[in-house]
Amino acid sequence: MTTALHTTTANPPVAQIDVVVPVLNELDMLPRFLERVRALPLPLHLIFVDNGSTDGTLPFLREQTDVQLIEHGQNLGYGRSLADGLLASTAPRVIILDADCEYPPEAIPALLTALEQTAMVYASRFLNARQVAMAPLRRWGNRGLTALFNLLYGQQLTDLYTGMKALRRSAFTGLTFTRGGFEHVMELSAKVARRGVHIGEVPVAYTPRQTGRSKMQHVPEFLKAVGCLLYYRGGCHD
């Protein structure tokens, strides 16, 4: 197992905002993703966590001089990518954003504005949305997990499984993340909620993947997610 963590300075400029991007075989989407993120008038620092891509993503990212790159060298799971990205981040505010352009980078300013009110904010595909292009199995799976999460953790979320979030550093400082797979979503949400943080939401326009293949196994992930939500509700698991 190889995990190369290239950390930046421990004291970033106060205004810097770190953007943690988990990536696995997204070469088709990355040029557009970078173009859109770079066009934003914000001091964003990109931290890509490559999770063993084999499609040319890695050489492409190595050529980008303005990004930080963590190389797993093999697939260690989506959750491990986020955990390593958060660990490498140093800025007071951190964005988590999928690399496949399903979530618009242009929504980052709205997330940051909402972050002034609370320590963690999710970009919701369902808040104020009339229609969302999503397969029924996924939609209902997400809805069920979101409802269970709200019930167990006293929140009012509409989209637990979003791939776009904003966090104040204080929301996750001192927490450890051990879940390697997509259950990381549950672990992060549960641990931050147990600290008493009210998780905010902003609406986001969602564009289902245009190219490439979804790599998620939805039914097994759903079952693991339910187990996680119950487990973290049960006791102290920082």
Ligand X SMILES: Nc1nc2c(ncn2[C@@H]2O[C@H](COP(=O)(O)OP(=O)(O)OP(=O)(O)O)[C@@H](O)[C@H]2O)c(=O)[nH]1
Q: Which two tokens stand for residue 88?
A: 């490498």
CA–CA separation, 12 and 23 (whole Å): 24
Residue nearer to Mg ion on the CB measure, 194 or 221: 221
Pick out residues in 84-103 that bind Mg ion (CB under 5 A).
Answer: 98, 100, 102
Q: How many residues bind Mg ion (CB under 5 A)?
A: 3
Give yes or no for a contact between 124 and 205, defined as CB atoms under 8 angstroms apart: no
Q: Which residues pair with 168 in a beta bridge?
A: 93
Alpha-carbon distances, residue 56 vs 30, 50, 62, 133, 214 (angstroms): 11, 11, 10, 29, 17
Radius of gyration, alpha carbons of the chain: 17
Secondary structure E strands in the chain: 17-23, 44-50, 67-71, 93-97, 120-124, 164-168, 199-203
Q: How many residues bind ligand X (CB under 6 A)?
A: 19
Stretch in the footprint of ligand X (CB under 6 A) among 10-18, 98-106, 123-131, 170-178 = 98-106
Residue nearer to Mg ion on the CB measure, 21 or 76: 21
Residue nearest to Mg ion (CB): 100
From candidates 19, 20, 23, 192, binder to ligand X by CB under 6 A: 23
Pick out residues in 100-159 that bind Mg ion (CB under 5 A).
Answer: 100, 102
Question: Mask: binding to ligand X, 50-89, rule CB under 6 A, as x and -?
Answer: -x-----------------------x-xx--x--------
Residue nearer to Mg ion on the CB measure, 13 or 31: 31
Give yes or no for a contact between 76 and 182, defined as CB atoms under 8 angstroms apart: no
Q: Which residues bind ligand X (CB under 6 A)?
A: 22-24, 26, 51, 75, 77-78, 81, 98-100, 102, 163, 208-209, 214-216
Q: Which residues bind Mg ion (CB under 5 A)?
A: 98, 100, 102
